[in-house]
Amino acid sequence: MKRKLIHHLFRALTGLCALASCAILAGIVASIVMRGWSALNWDFFTQQIALVGASGGIFYNVIGTLILLATAFVVCTPLALGFSIVHSVYLRDSHWRGKLTLLLYLLNGVPSILFGIVGMVIFVQVLGWGKSWLAGGILLGLMILPTVSVTLIERIGSLPIKYTEAAIGLGLRKSQIIRSVILPQSIGGLITGLMLGLARAAGETAPIMFTATIFAGASIPGGIKESPVLSLPYHIFILAQDSYDPAVKAKLWGSALVLIILVLGLSLVALPARLKIHEEANHA
Amino acid sequence: MTRSALNPSCRRWSITLILSWLFTGVALAAVVGGLGLLLIESAPAWKHSGFEFVIGKKWFFRQSEFGAAPMIYGSIIVAILAMILAAPVGIGAAIFGVEYLPRKWRLGLKVTVELLAGIPSVVYGLLGILLLRNWIYEVFQDFDPLSGDTLLTAGVLLGLMILPTIMTLADDALRGVPGTLRLAARGLGLTATETALHVSVPQAFPGLLAAVLLALGRAMGETIAVFLVIGRQDNQWPSSILSLKPLLESGQTLTSKLGGSETNIAYGQPLHWGAIMGLGLVLLSLVVIITLTGAWLQRISFRQHQQHS
Amino acid sequence: MLEPILQTSELSVSAGSKKILNPVSLDIPEGGVFGIIGPSGAGKSTFLKSINRLTELSNGLKVSGQVYHRGDPVYGVGVDTDNLRSRIGMLFQQPVVFPCSILANTLFGVRHLGKVPRKEWNNVAEKALREAALWEEVKDRLKKPGQQLSVGQQQRLCLARTLATGTDVILMDEPTSALDPRSTEAIEGLILDLKETHTIVLVTHNMRQTERVCRTVAFIGLRDKVGTMLATGKLTDLQTKCCEIPELEDYLCCELTEPIPKAKAC
Ligand SMILES: Nc1ncnc2c1ncn2[C@@H]1O[C@H](COP(=O)(O)OP(=O)(O)OP(=O)(O)O)[C@@H](O)[C@H]1O
Ligand SMILES: [Mg+2]
């Protein structure tokens, strides 16, 4: 009976851990929704920031974040595609493959602030762009490269060999197989990975705060040099440090709510597919 | 590659081949370039301080004194604190998901936890600054903290943030344990708990350790949330490494320093900027070492299971 | 021998809406070897696992009906399934050896079940290993990893592990199909020894084996793609029933490399 008791105790204990994890998510979302809900209205989305955040809305912040995401998307897609194809097709039987995998792991582990300061040297100073949306987009695109590539690589890896073998049987060349078999079959993996990557990029502050984004006084950028954008995470980051004014606080929670809706929305759409790809690839 | 793959007709240059190698090259160049930049730009600081840069306890940039030890201490202590809080809960949740829940529910749990991972660090920071900070201040009032901005606050916040990482990776590790082992143990009459504790966990141990290490790396690199709640007090060196008192004081981590205004001031003065880049290099080295160890353990774990099944 | 040690009553298994096994009512007498034969995918393993409720551990399988073990119901609230499984042991097609020493493997169940005091453990291990005819081969290297043994030895180690827990029924799911003829011979010999003290339910594809060790045989065939218990009795009886049951005839003809004379006659 002691065994049964231990069994039930341990199950309850681990169950509590699982419950706690879910409760934390619920708690965070609930506390933001509760506090931020009242700030959301039409004006909040359509007006510019005013009175150092105490008034007005977050129109250009949302636009800025979307511009950064679109740039990151454009930058990351070819890199992730190229990298994944080289990794899983051209280097399939080579010892370099493991090294590339490790590189992805490492890149994934690189703290995002390092993207920020290295980017600052290259784009802001050496290239003389000042703060620019393009720099931010490029950095974010590089930062999410591991997220996107790993999903794509897992997807390519779990394609039934019969597809490629059938294609080889038809006498297709490698590049033709890639274009006509591998890419169409794994496009879902690319999209899933991109959505998760962009969800991550949307909330990142560290890589863009020295390179791309300012707190107030920017609208749609007209060029590359000296053309910063506003962004949601940086907006929250700055206001959070100065959050004693109740008017600011309300707007602050509202902005946080908009940000997590954006991020969780993207994740929620992509996650089930991502998990399925992951399980197929690793626990067949 | 096999012979046939090397045969000329398969080796013809094609747009696909060129483009994919080109983009891979660009990605690799970016990585190598970034690393090279950190090395080159931080050179003045290494020349100036030498190893003193890592072990020196004083950082006064106006006096050209650059010692990163308090920040390294801050980074490590905060990450370890986060680990202590998050590892048991994350691994516990993973065990519950894999060993007790039916598949459908386990996936639900995993989706929930990964959603948690998606919440941006600036939002955690906001919650930290507006809620957790005050809460820590009140709970530990007996110890007379100066404010709610403490290493402990940062550690707790980071713990919340890396919980999903640990849980997901631990889940992967446990799921890697062949089901036949579980079935055999249950067939002998062991309870699900005995099976979990005496079969699954020992089998998945390297993988679980990897989960903890990879999350530790994550925690060390986290900037924004830590920045907002740690107080950013330079030169906080504990009188004794083992004393817990400093946990209730403000501090500085490598990342909070890098994210601060000094980064903006420093550029243009080679030595000061070198010191900032030096901090970046130290941070990168710490994270890379931890991540490499984690990846190595994960490989071991994976191999072990392949052998078995 | 009066009361059957295992009795299934209307035991059926389904996976979601898909039926896997039609209701089976069967008495398995105490002692001796009860054989189960049938084509691949008929549900033999599933039937076997549903006897000690191991089906509950594979996703999506639903069992209805009842099994009685020594008259006690197996399915029902309040049944201690773990205790049940320690009394109705199972041997799998592929030997599953835990990554620990030979001794630790033998004692894997005993150690946790807590039925035997610690100081008895070594005796229990020796007795079980002797019963599994493994003692002489491993007595000098009990501390070595179990996974270093040959596959045949591993299977006997698994048997020893099950015996050590004090089971009275052993369910064997094609225990020799992964083994070479030599090891198969050894296991068959063991089964013949063990049947004096244990009840064995043996799933096998090997008709020679069935003939050699089984007293009674049940045939599970696929009827309308659902596993169905089509015949029971002595193997010779089944062979005479060939003509009435087309599935059985199919199976016996395909499985037999050297036809048993009586099958021909039928
Ligand atoms: N968990 C499950 N979910 C759904 N279907 C299952 C499950 N387990 C088994 N089945 C199905 O039940 C049927 C019977 O499987 P079972 O393994 O019992 O056959 P078997 O008679 O032992 O075959 P073999 O001789 O090849 O071992 C198969 O069609 C299989 O696909
Ligand atoms: Mg079977």
Q: Is the CB of residue C232 less than 8 Å from the CB of residue C24?
A: no
Q: Which of C98, C106, C170 should we substitute to test contact with B (largest number of B Cβ atoms within 10 Å)?
A: C98
Residue B134 contacts A, CB cutoff 8 Å: no
Which residue of C11, C37, C44, C202 sits with most ligand 1 atoms within 8 Å of its CB, as the best mutation to test the pocket?
C44
Q: Report the pLDDT value the prediction gives residue C235, as an integer from 0 to 100.
A: 83
Cα-Cα end-to-end distance for chain B:
27
Quote the distance between the C-alpha of residue B210 and its chain's center.
11
Q: pLDDT band at B125, cuts 50/70/90?
A: very high
Q: Is C20 in the pocket of ligand 1 (CB under 6 A)?
A: yes
Q: Is C62 in the pocket of ligand 1 (CB under 6 A)?
A: no
Kindly state the average pLDDT of the residues B40-68: 86
Q: Is the CB of residue B173 less than 8 Å from the CB of residue B207?
A: yes
Between the alpha carbon of residue A114 and those of residues A31, B292, B298, the distances in Å are: 31, 18, 25
In this structure, what are the phi and psi dihedrals at residue B269, rounded to the nearest 5 degrees? Answer: -105, 105
Cβ contacts from B onto C, under 8 A:
60
Q: Which of A118, A268, A276 should we substitute to test contact with B (largest number of B Cβ atoms within 10 Å)?
A: A118
Q: Report the pLDDT value the prediction gives residue B155, as an integer from 0 to 100.
A: 94
Q: Where in chain B are the domains?
A: 69-308
Residue bearing the bigger pLDDT, A234 or A218: A234
In this structure, the residue with its CA closest to atom 9 of ligand 1 is C46
> What are A281's two structure tokens?
């690839």
Chains that touch A (3 or more CB pairs under 8 A): B, C
- Helix (H) or strand (E) run with residue A255 in it: helix A246-282
- pLDDT of A91 strictly over 90: no
CA dihedral C188, C194, C200, C204 (to 10 degrees): 0
On whether the C4-265 domain is CATH 3.10.180.10, my answer is no
Residue B185 contacts C, CB cutoff 8 Å: yes
Percentage of chain A exceeding pLDDT 70: 99
- H-state helical runs in chain C: 44-51, 81-87, 102-106, 108-113, 121-131, 135-138, 151-164, 181-194, 207-213, 235-241, 246-255, 261-265
- pLDDT of B152 strictly over 80: yes
Over the stretch A36-59, which tens digit does the pLDDT of each residue have? Answer: 888 888 888 877 777 766 777 788
Q: Is C204 in the pocket of ligand 1 (CB under 6 A)?
A: no
Contact A106 B292 (CB under 8 A): yes
Q: Report the pLDDT value the prediction gives residue B3, as an integer from 0 to 100.
A: 41
A131-146 exposure pattern, b = at least 16 Cβ within 10 A, e = fewer: bbbbbbbbbbbbbbbb
- pLDDT of A284 strictly over 80: no
In this structure, what are the phi and psi dihedrals at residue C221, rounded to the nearest 5 degrees? Answer: -115, 170
- β-sheet bridge partners, residue B59: B66
Over the stretch B223-237, which tens digit does the pLDDT of each residue have? Answer: 999 999 988 888 888
From the CA of C226, which ligand is nearest? 1
- ipTM of the complex in this document: 0.91
- pLDDT of B1 strictly over 50: no
Chains that touch B (3 or more CB pairs under 8 A): A, C
- pLDDT of C264 strictly over 70: no
- pLDDT of B124 strictly over 90: yes
Between the alpha carbon of residue C45 and those of residues A59, B70, C202, C225, C227, the distances in Å are: 64, 63, 10, 16, 11
Tell me the C-alpha distance between C242 and C257, whole Å.
17
Q: Report the pLDDT value the prediction gives residue C182, as an integer from 0 to 100.
A: 87
Q: Please give the number of the atom of ligand 1 that sits closest to the Cα of C47.
A: 18
For residue B263, report the distance from its CA to the centre of ligand 2, in Å: 66
Among candidate residues C152, C136, C145, the one with its CA nearest the CA of residue C105 = C145
Q: At a CB cut-off of 8 Å and minimum separation 6, what does A167 contact?
A: A176, A177, A180, A181
**Which chain C residue shows the shortest CA-CA distance from A2?**
C114
Q: pLDDT band at C254, cuts 50/70/90?
A: low
In this structure, the residue with its CA closest to atom 30 of ligand 1 is C41
Q: Where in chain C are the domains?
A: 4-265
For ligand 2, an ion, list residues with CB under 5 A.
C 45
Contact B198 C112 (CB under 8 A): yes
For residue B97, report the distance from its CA to the centre of ligand 1, in Å: 25
In this structure, what are the phi and psi dihedrals at residue C37, rounded to the nearest 5 degrees? Answer: -125, 165
Q: Is the CB of residue B227 less than 8 Å from the CB of residue B260?
A: yes
Contact B183 C84 (CB under 8 A): no
Q: At a CB cut-off of 8 Å and minimum separation 6, what does B157 contact?
A: B82, B124, B125, B127, B128, B132, B225, B226, B229
Kindly state the average pLDDT of the residues A67-81: 95
Q: Report the pLDDT value the prediction gives residue C102, as an integer from 0 to 100.
A: 93
Among candidate residues C143, C142, C111, the one with its CA nearest the CA of residue C126 = C142
Tell me the C-alpha distance between B55 and B60, whole Å.
14
Over the stretch C62-105, which tens digit does the pLDDT of each residue have? Answer: 999 999 998 889 998 888 888 899 899 999 989 999 988 999 99
Q: Report the pLDDT value the prediction gives residue B217, as an integer from 0 to 100.
A: 92
Q: Report the pLDDT value the prediction gives residue A251, as an integer from 0 to 100.
A: 86
Among candidate residues B306, B264, B280, B309, the one with its CA nearest the CA of residue B72 = B280
- Percentage helix, strand, coil for chain A under 3-state DSSP, each rounded to 5: 75, 5, 20
**Which chain C residue shows the shortest CA-CA distance from B188?**
C86
State the nearest Cα–Cα gap between A68 and chain B, in angstroms: 16
Between the alpha carbon of residue B131 and those of residues A240, B78, B136, B149, C223, the distances in Å are: 12, 19, 9, 12, 66
Residue B90 contacts A, CB cutoff 8 Å: yes
From the CA of C44, which ligand is nearest? 1
Q: Is C45 in the pocket of ligand 1 (CB under 6 A)?
A: yes
Kindly state the average pLDDT of the residues C251-262: 59
- pLDDT of A172 strictly over 80: no
Pick the CATH number of B69-308 from 1.10.3720.10, 3.20.20.140, 3.30.9.10, 1.20.1440.230: 1.10.3720.10
Contact B21 A11 (CB under 8 A): no
Q: Cβ of C134: how many Cβ atoms within 10 Å?
A: 24
**Which chain C residue shows the shortest CA-CA distance from A7?**
C82
In this structure, what are the phi and psi dihedrals at residue A249, rounded to the nearest 5 degrees? Answer: -55, -45
Output the furthest CA–CA distance in chain A (Å, rounded): 74
B3-25 exposure pattern, b = at least 16 Cβ within 10 A, e = fewer: eeeeeeeeeeeeebbeebeebbe
Among candidate residues C103, A113, A84, the one with its CA nearest the CA of residue B263 = A113
Tell me the C-alpha distance between C144 and C179, whole Å.
22
> What are A1's two structure tokens?
């009976």
Among candidate residues A157, A134, A165, the one with its CA nearest the CA of residue A228 = A134
